[in-house]
Chains A and B, each alone.
Chain A
Amino acid sequence: DAKTTQPTSMDCAEGRAANLPCNHSTISGNEYVYWYRQIHSQGPQYIIHGLKNNETNEMASLIITEDRKSSTLILPHATLRDTAVYYCIVRGTGNQFYFGTGTSLTVIP
């Protein structure tokens, strides 16, 4: 599975959009981009995933660049409950999800 690079930490004002970037320059054609988040001392929560088209669900939007070498997770109106560590994972059909260190997002009142 391709390696991903994310910023260590980010802040976002409450009510504003949180844009979390992820680089995955070695992604291959059959690998999807997944996003999870983990609130302190809880299990990871699935957010969204996509292959090459932009995706949106009730939690977030996923924007994947045309060359698929990077993506952005967008939380349109961040709340304090969105404070968490966000993981970007690139995966094919392998057995497991490799969680790196992720981005620690702090939503500020």
Chain B
Amino acid sequence: DVKVTQSSRYLVKRTGEKVFLECVQDMDHENMFWYRQDPGLGLRLIYFSYDVKMKEKGDIPEGYSVSREKKERFSLILESASTNQTSMYLCASQKDRGYNEQFFGPGTRLTVL
């Protein structure tokens, strides 16, 4: 089975802090994604990556950056956390482009005070 793990289930940070969210997948998948989920808004795509060192903006990239130095690891960075970035963050991986399903991690619930 595909396993996608995220570094923390719950995280509390202060406004202005730099925040790192880590995601690791163990199935040699090409593609990885970062979403955030907020009540009433569904899942919104922040960034995605089709290969090591590659990144593409999703629908809401502002305030975020990403890093993919190794195939199995995709990091989401909040350069200066703000209260409106309080959310559930979900990482997903996908074998490659096309019709393959995405597999999600357990999520990180981030609270920015």
Query: Taking beta carbons and an 8 Å cutoff, which residues of A are in contact with B?
Result: 32, 34, 41-46, 49, 91-93, 95-101
Residues facing A in B54-74 (CB within 8 A) are 56, 58-59
A44 to B107, CA, bound (A): 9
Instruction: Evaluate whether A95 and B56 lie within 8 angstroms (CB atoms) in the complex, with A100-B42, A101-B42 already known.
Output: yes
B residues contacting A by CB (< 8 A) are 4, 33, 35, 37, 40, 42-43, 45, 48, 56, 58-59, 88, 90, 92, 97-99, 101-107, 109
Judge whether A42 and B106 touch: CB under 8 Å: yes
| Dominant secondary structure of chain A at its interface with chain B | loop
The number of A-B residue pairs with CB atoms under 8 Å apart is: 52
User: How far, in Å, is B80 (CB) from chain A's closest CB?
Assistant: 26
Known: A41-B109, A42-B106, A101-B42. A95 touches B58 (CB 8 A): yes
Q: Cβ of A43 and Cβ of B105 under 8 Å apart?
A: yes
A34–B35 CB distance below 8 A: no
Q: Are B107 and A93 in contact (CB under 8 A)?
A: no
A49 contact set on B, CB distance < 8 A: 99, 101
- Beyond A44-B90, A46-B102, A93-B98, whether A99 also contacts B42 by CB under 8 A is yes
Closest to B59 in A: A96
